[in-house]
Amino acid sequence: MRIARMGVALTAASTLLLLSACGSDDDSAAAAEDGVSVVASTNVYGAIVSAVAGDDVEVTAIIDDPSADPHSYEANTRTQLAISEADLIVENGGGYDDFVDTMVSASDTDAPVINAVELSGREAEAEDAGEELNEHVWYDLETVEKLADELVTQLSEIDPDGAETYEANGAEFTEQLQALVAAEQEARAGTEGAGVAITEPVPGYLLDALGAENRTPEEFSEAIEEGGDVSPAVLQETLDLFSSGQVQALVYNEQTTGAETEQVLAAAEAAGVAVVPVTETLPEGEDYVSWMQANIDAVAGALSA
């Protein structure tokens, strides 16, 4: 799914939690004195930033509503203001949140921009393999660890006095990420080769880590992700996955629904196939690590049952 596909604007209250923060974009000493401000495209990245930055850094998540459909996001003047005042900007990249680049270009900010897809190297890997990039890299723990390292570097340059804190927080967060990797590896013993269906590629990196086999017709998940039409033949092929027992679970993005996804959900439930919802934004009350652990547990439990 790409946030760049614009639709009806979400309300300011549900999409943008603006936290007041001042700081010079071109003077790191002044930024440190006034307080460091970071803007992230979604609350997932906001949570990752907060884990590394700590309580003294103000973090603005542009899309902050856990019930919101990111498809319908449309930038507004408050978002533009947050971008223009930021000391550091974090985006997913890969075409997922192009609105960030648009706003950065429209502002006079000199703030560095961290692009998670660029850090991941996944785009080049996809091109080399002749595949389409799965831009949902926050489900890729290796990428998140690279992001944490880059956050420590950038925050320490902006605020040298806080470098020791950022390094300590980054080390603790990386340790938690490594525990998640260990959980995936442990679960893989029971999930390797298990058939799975998806509505969109959102959980793709998690499924890969668990060794699951995505048996969804590529034409189906691509059409759903891009908001296109699914042909009757492809839809029927997808529905047959459940009635024929080819998959043990349906992992679906519950933030985007439509006629085709509702049919797929109904087919899975009718066949007694486990259904595991996933999201693109952080549920209320969760941090990144607790959320990802819950996703690992839910998907692994469904595939190994």
Nearest to 31 by CA among 116, 109, 115, 148: 109
Provide the whole-model pTM: 0.88
In sequence order, the 6+-apart residues with CB closer than 8 A to the CB of 65 are: 10, 14, 15, 281
pLDDT of 191 higher than 50? yes
Tell me the β-bridge partners of 39. Answer: 60, 89
pLDDT of residue 13: 34
Task: Sketch out the chain's domains with CATH numbers.
Answer: 12-181 (3.40.50.1980), 187-304 (3.40.50.1980)
Lookup result for tokens 């998670």: 116
In sequence order, the 6+-apart residues with CB closer than 8 A to the CB of 106 are: 80
Residues 16-70 have pLDDT tens digits of 333 333 333 344 444 445 789 999 999 999 999 999 999 999 999 999 877 666 6
Which amino acid is residue 56, in one-letter code? Answer: D
Residues 96-133 have pLDDT tens digits of 998 899 999 999 899 999 999 999 999 888 888 888 89
Question: If pLDDT is split at 50, 70 and 90, which confidence band does 225 have?
Answer: confident
Nearest to 216 by CA among 134, 295, 126: 134
Which amino acid is residue 274, in one-letter code? Answer: A
Determine the Cα–Cα distance for residues 236 and 71; give it in Å rounded to an integer.
26
Contact 224, 201 (CB under 8 A): no
Determine the Cα–Cα distance for residues 79 and 202; give it in Å rounded to an integer.
25
pLDDT of 14 higher than 60? no
